[in-house]
A and B are shown apart, each in its own frame.
Chain A
């Protein structure tokens, strides 16, 4: 059931939850006092006695055979402790490492370099500056090879083979993947009144968190113990991988993710730099710090998107959508570094059927290797749902334009209805709940949709270019059910430990890791709500493999759907134990007790009750405990999600395009999200705001492009443009609430919703604005030059 709640007023937004000291609600963040004092502790803030610094030499070219690497001058440079090459790593069996998609990736290149920016050698020195200086002294001779830059030509018969390291590999084919029923879809298309097709390119972009990637590796040769502080969104999975790669026993590895300066998926993979720093520490017996610079971050770490798509939509002439058919060419770069569950090489692209009730759908995808940086799932994409939503939402708006129908009303007429849930899509996903029409109607109400359309008509008469774009989406988050989803064989579950101290204060230990999402607050609220303890009395421990239970980490908006469920259930386990102790304290049967937030009461006798704090003291106190109770109020759990959760949203964007300069200005952006039960509305809105800015960046500014030689053209923040306060509007947010039926508290996750949903709303708005020019399609990023050329009738080819 969906309830439509009004967004809080600006005044209310400023108020912390003094009124709601326990549980869910707007509450100021527990982590902020340290951050506003400059006392956050990020990886680069870690300083250990005797610590050395590492820098990495990277390939200046996209594709070349390595003829020789001469490190003698670098080794002789003052302050240099070690120079490591691929050859040296190969001698230890460490030159290659597995990626998260069962491919392999070079740690340091031995045979060839396969993208510009690839790691070739590294220097460990006394300070950052000496390490950098020594890089200049390494002499590498390259035998340049022709690069594969355009994915469309990667499978040409005469294309150079990039991955000749793979046995028998004679082409650049990475994988093929399909979803849905091709024959059934073709049959629906054959009979449809209307078929509209659209080429859609989602260019390569980069998450570019403000903190780049890095680590401090500290190997203690006496204990045989490795401690690694690293910018990792998944410390437990990383630890297991290091154990497998480096052959170190897993119990002797401790991975610590301290405060992280933004992740957005960029900090999910293991990068060669981490492995090199570990090797550097093994070699020198000293702690080694590696922090990449911004151009290293942009040119070599996990990119996102890079899908070249063709979509077709079949409908009746009055606008009933019948089927979708799509073909995708996916550019995976030089190594398949996608961080998605292994059975999902295309991530969750299979949800490209969106929020619509369809008869059939089919997708075929071909993925290729190119001479570009590896990656593929990053930047808050929910495992490729960003690409899927962008495709279907562009198609549906295009269909509305072709039919002369309003794009919002066409959507309302085609949504899956609330009574159809759980809803099985033609590509095999089972959506849990939602009331998509209610969400869109709320967005239309906030936006004043009909007034906007009237205003647009008036402005059009005056020659002004105002556009209104609509995008509605269904997300699939909280990966995932163990039987379908794993990463390198590790099931995607999360553990949670809860300990209640004798005085009733608690500490909860999580397997997920915050990169700014506010876990120390949200998880304290989840446990607080379940136990009736103030969140201020609950400490949240995360990001340290020695001090937290195993789990797969934070990405794909999975923290609340998976770890949040674990936190609620572990608290309920504690409560069950507390009930037994309370029954002894009150001398009644456990079943005669009622839980009233924070205490157990004798049913029908509210005068007789004990608080959770009193029970905690009793659980640790002297004297007999009830039969079967060992003492303490601790519990541990591993949560295996039975299904994904499916948040949804409806976004409306208003743009003005300057007819003289083709500059696009986002005048308004209305985002209504339904992420089920809302734990901390302030944090949720913050997540939505951030995702909207990401979406605006991708729609209007951000692209990692390459020249024909494979040189990266987005290697600095001067070239890779990220929105500032000047381009972004004052976001307008609203919400509906449809709890997930299978999540213990009904929460669905929200971290990526806005990144997933917003680009299509902005692009649809610009296309709508340019309707007088007969423009029906435009590819991101909608820079002034790209829009201008389209207005002149000579659109720039996409990427």
Chain B
């Protein structure tokens, strides 16, 4: 069957098996390997991406169910010019990652949380990521990373190389500007200086 969706702001159309999982579609068909896979039972959250504006476990969504929707992955978290989202910056500064396997999913959830609740308390952060497992960090540094991002919502972003990736889906791109979503562009528009 054919599916059409917007991935990180770029439209894609592909022929897929009806049973193909979104996580495999993103990884194997589109080459967006920043989204990971870690369990058979929807428990680990290494696969979290956004469908429209909601974080979803992409192992629990069929590619077919994403037809007509907007998908955002970790490759679309930084701005098109490579400027990192404050969440990405926070994870680096507060040692919110070790092996990095859970990190994309954690950051996607954190971004969604901060868009809804710009200044979450510790309990809200812990609740937001409670459907995801990190085996390396013991979570305290992840909480601090998200707090850092909340405290630096409008600055401190590091410029970097654009995350050009497979099939040009790796960054939000100009096309994302057309997508009415709360991805924090306003904040990024004023970002620039490094701390």
Contacts and interface: CB of A to CB of B under 8 A. Distances in A.
A35 B92 CA distance: 9
A536 B2 CA distance: 47
Interface in A15-52: 16, 28-29, 31-33, 35-42, 44-45, 47
Given A261-B100, A717-B43, A36 B137 contact: no
User: Number of contact residues on A: which range applies?
Assistant: 35 or more
Interface stretch (B61-69, B121-129, B172-180, B184-192): B121-129
Given A692-B138, A725-B142, A717 B93 contact: no
Contact of A38 (B34, B39, B130): B34
A303 to B, nearest CB: 15
B134 interface: yes
B31 A47 contact: yes
Nearest to A720: B43
B102 A210 contact: yes
Contact of A716 (B39, B99, B136): B39
B29 to A, nearest CB: 11
Interface string B88-122: 10011111011111111001000000000000001
User: Number of contact residues on B: which range applies?
Assistant: 35 or more
B92 A722 contact: no
B99 A262 contact: yes
Contacts of B22: none
B132 interface: yes
B93 A212 contact: no
Interface stretch (A418-426, A436-444, A510-518, A777-785): A510-518
A299 to B, nearest CB: 11
A128 B38 contact: no
Contacts of A293: 40
Interface string A712-738: 000011100011111011110000000
Contact of B38 (A45, A294, A685): A294
Nearest to B166: A47
Interface string B19-56: 11000100110011111111111011010000000000
Interface string A662-682: 000000000000000000001
A211 interface: yes
A208 interface: yes
Contacts of A10: 144
Q: Which of A210, A517, A682 has the most CB of B within 10 A?
A: A210
A537 interface: no
A14 B19 contact: no
B34 A37 contact: yes
A690 B95 contact: no
A212 B94 contact: no
Contacts of A726: 126-127, 130
B141 A686 contact: yes
Nearest to A212: B38
B94 A14 contact: yes
A29 to B, nearest CB: 7
Contacts of A685: 95
B138 A731 contact: yes
Nearest to A128: B24
Contacts of B11: none
Given A40-B100, A262-B136, A29 B92 contact: yes
A718 B43 contact: yes
Interface string A127-159: 111000000000000000000000000000000
B39 A730 contact: no
A39 B163 contact: yes
A693 B139 contact: yes
Nearest to B84: A36
Contacts of B43: 716-718
Given A515-B99, A518-B98, A725-B142, A37 B75 contact: yes
Contact of A45 (B17, B33, B40, B126): B33
Nearest to B37: A44
B133 to A, nearest CB: 5
A655 to B, nearest CB: 17
Contacts of B41: 294, 716-718
A287 to B, nearest CB: 14
Interface in B59-85: 73-75, 77-78, 84
B5 interface: no
Contacts of B140: 689, 728-731
A295 interface: yes
Contact of A32 (B74, B91, B148): B91
Contacts of A259: 99-100
Top 3 A-B residue pairs of the complex, sorted by shortest distance between their CB atoms:
A38-B34, A516-B99, A261-B101
19 contacts: A36-B92, A37-B78, A37-B84, A39-B34, A40-B34, A44-B36, A127-B28, A207-B135, A210-B99, A210-B133, A261-B36, A294-B38, A516-B100, A689-B137, A689-B140, A693-B138, A724-B129, A725-B139, A725-B143
